[in-house]
């Protein structure tokens, strides 16, 4: 069943030097209980996309066009009041920085219980009981004690678990996780991803996972969207993308993932292939392919005409002029 359908989403920000075109035409669909990963470097527009879905962009400085259909309604046209009923209730969100995303002066229990009291009308006592259950659900030891603690008393991993508990408190249909593991230690990263996958199995929530790291995507996502400079450059089922990446940028990203055993021999430095060059400025309109400046295969056509996202095989689309010409080989 289709839960979310984003069509031709564009987002521009007002700045002193004119518009910043953070997202230029992104479309995707997500079904109930599935996981979609949106992958890209910083500045690719992946976080802006998630904030657009939540309606959390500052209306004074940001403008959207296109449509975001969730549960039959276009979220872009809803009033702030209507959006408030959806946020935290039907869509939960986990942010990148667990160290700063929790309110330092409110207890953990208060911050979890707040959502429950707001959307489910629970009493203070009932919200507390449920909050303890939620802390247990996200594997926090001694939840009865932790619930009265403040964020500074918790480790980074624990804080991110608390964030997940807050996001899942009202059993949302969709969980948006924006770089949920980036700020955490590697071992904790794996635990948090396991937790999310485990919770998805139990609650049936759909997940949008925003990340710059294709490595974390493999185990959890059903489909992957690769974004570059505010555009979708490739979309495919996860396994298909790993096996047959078509866009040069996707290939570049895959090459930066450290593979076990490939580079950890003694005396041999870990060699990750970096993609040379920088993301183009979003302040000026981009003519041609946005990646052309960094692409080692680029030809004249790439600089003059923007490639269109085209379906190359079942469930696999790519926006590259050269995708048919054996570049993918």
Partner 1 sequence: MLNFVVRRLVSTIPVMVFVALFVFSLIYFAPGDPAALIAGDQASAAEIERIRLSLGLDRPFFLRFFGWLGDVLQGDLGVSVFSQLPVTTLIGQRLEPTLSLMVMTVVLSVTIAVPLGVVAAARQGTWIDRFVMTFAVIGFSVPVFVIGYILSYVFAIRLNLLPVQGYSPLAEGFWPFLKSLLLPSVALSGVYVALIARITRTSMIEVLSQDYIRTARAKGLGQGPILFVHALKNASVPIITVIGIGISLLIGGAVVTETVFAIPGIGRLVVDAILRRDYPVIQGVVLLFSLGYVLINLCIDLIYTLLDPRVRY
Partner 2 sequence: MDTPTQALPPLPDLFPPQPRRGKVRRLIVQHPSIVIGGSLLVLIILLAIFANWLGTVDPYKIAPAKRNRLPSMDFWFGTDTLGRDIYSRVLYGGRVSLFVGVSVAFLATVLGLVTGLIAGAYRRLDAIIMRLMDGLMSIPPILLAIALVAAIGGSVLNVILAITMAEFPRMSRIVRGVVLSVREQPFIDGAIAAGSTMPKIIIRHILPNIMGPIIVQATYICSAAMITEAALSFIGAGTPPSIPSWGGIMNEGRMLWQIKPYIILFPAVFLSVTVLAVNLLGDGLRDALDPRSATRL
Summarize as ranges the residues that interact with partner 2 (CB under 8 A): 7-8, 10-14, 18-19, 21, 24-25, 27-31, 63-65, 223, 232, 235-236, 285, 306, 308-311, 315-317
Residue 86 within binding range of partner 1, rule CB under 8 A: yes
DSSP letter (8 states) at residue 87: B
Under 8 Å CB-to-CB from 151, ≥6 apart: which residues?
102, 103, 104, 108, 159, 162
Q: Quick one: what does residue 24 bind among partner 2, partner 1, none, with the CB cut-off 5 to 8 Å set by partner type?
A: partner 2
State the minimum distance, in angstroms, from the CB of residue 292 to partner 1.
Answer: 35
H or E stretch including 208?
strand 206-211
Q: Phi and psi at residue 35, in whole multiples of 5°?
A: -125, 130
- 223 with 235: CB under 8 angstroms? yes
Nearer to partner 1, 110 or 316 (CB): 110
* Cβ density class 307-328: b for 16+ within 10 Å, e for less: bebeebeeebbbbbbbbeeebb
Measured torsion, CA atoms of residues 150, 155, 157, 163, in degrees rounded to the nearest 10 = 10
Residue 115 within binding range of partner 1, rule CB under 8 A: yes
Nearer to partner 2, 52 or 160 (CB): 52
> How many angstroms separate the CA atoms of 293 and 302, rounded?
9
Residue 14 within binding range of partner 1, rule CB under 8 A: no
Residue 101 within binding range of partner 1, rule CB under 8 A: yes
State the minimum distance, in angstroms, from the CB of residue 84 to partner 1.
Answer: 5
- 217 with 46: CB under 8 angstroms? no
State the minimum distance, in angstroms, from the CB of residue 209 to partner 2.
Answer: 15
Q: Quick one: what does residue 229 bind among partner 1, partner 2, none, with the CB cut-off 5 to 8 Å set by partner type?
A: none
Residue 93 within binding range of partner 1, rule CB under 8 A: yes
Nearer to partner 2, 17 or 274 (CB): 17
3-state class (DSSP) for residue 81: helix
How buried is 118 (Cβ within 10 angstroms: 0-12 exposed, 13-18 middle, 19+ buried)?
Answer: middle
Pick from 206, 128, 131, 191: nearest CA to 158: 191
* Binding-site member from 42, 65, 74, 100 for partner 1 (CB under 8 A): 100
Nearer to partner 2, 72 or 266 (CB): 72
State the minimum distance, in angstroms, from the CB of residue 252 to partner 2.
Answer: 22
Site for partner 1 in 16-55 (CB under 8 A): 54
Window 137-176: contact mask with partner 1 (x via CB under 8 A): -------------x-x----------x--xx---------
> How many angstroms separate the CA atoms of 140 and 157, rounded?
10
Residue 118 within binding range of partner 1, rule CB under 8 A: yes
Nearer to partner 2, 56 or 264 (CB): 56
Binding positions for partner 1, rule: CB under 8 A: 54, 56, 60, 83-89, 92-93, 95, 97, 100-106, 114-115, 118-119, 150, 152, 163, 166-167
């Amino acid at each position: 069943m289709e839960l979310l359908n984003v069509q031709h989403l564009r987002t521009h920000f007002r700045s002193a030097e004119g518009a910043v075109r953070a997202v230029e035409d992104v479309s995707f669909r997500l079904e109930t209980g599935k996981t979609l990963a949106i992958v890209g470097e910083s500045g690719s527009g992946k976080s802006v996309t998630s904030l657009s879905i939540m309606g959390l962009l500052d209306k004074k400085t940001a403008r959207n066009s296109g449509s975001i259909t969730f549960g039959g309604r276009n979220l872009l046209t809803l009033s702030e009041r209507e959006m408030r009923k959806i946020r935290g209730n039907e869509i939960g969100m986990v942010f990148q920085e667990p160290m700063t995303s929790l309110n330092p002066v409110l207890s953990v229990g208060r911050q979890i219980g707040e959502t429950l009291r707001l959307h489910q009308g629970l009493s203070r006592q009932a919200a507390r009981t449920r909050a303890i259950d939620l802390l247990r659900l996200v594997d926090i030891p001694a939840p009865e004690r932790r619930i009265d603690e403040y964020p500074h008393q918790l480790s980074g991993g624990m804080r991110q678990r608390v964030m997940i508990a807050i996001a899942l408190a009202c059993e949302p249909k969709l969980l948006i996780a924006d770089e949920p593991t980036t700020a955490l230690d590697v071992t904790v990263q794996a635990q948090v991803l396991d937790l999310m996958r485990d919770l998805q199995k139990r609650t049936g929530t759909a997940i949008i996972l925003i990340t710059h790291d294709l490595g974390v995507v493999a185990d959890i996502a059903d489909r992957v969207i690769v974004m570059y400079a505010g555009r979708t450059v490739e979309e495919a089922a996860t396994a298909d993308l790993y096996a047959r990446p078509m866009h040069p940028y996707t290939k570049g990203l895959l090459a930066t993932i450290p593979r076990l055993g490939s580079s950890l021999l003694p005396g041999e430095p870990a060699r990750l292939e970096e993609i040379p060059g920088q993301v183009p400025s979003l302040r000026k309109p981009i003519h041609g392919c946005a990646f052309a400046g960094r692409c080692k295969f680029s030809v004249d056509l790439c600089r003059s005409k923007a490639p269109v996202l085209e379906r190359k095989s079942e469930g696999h689309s790519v926006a590259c002029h050269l995708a048919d010409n054996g570049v993918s080989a």
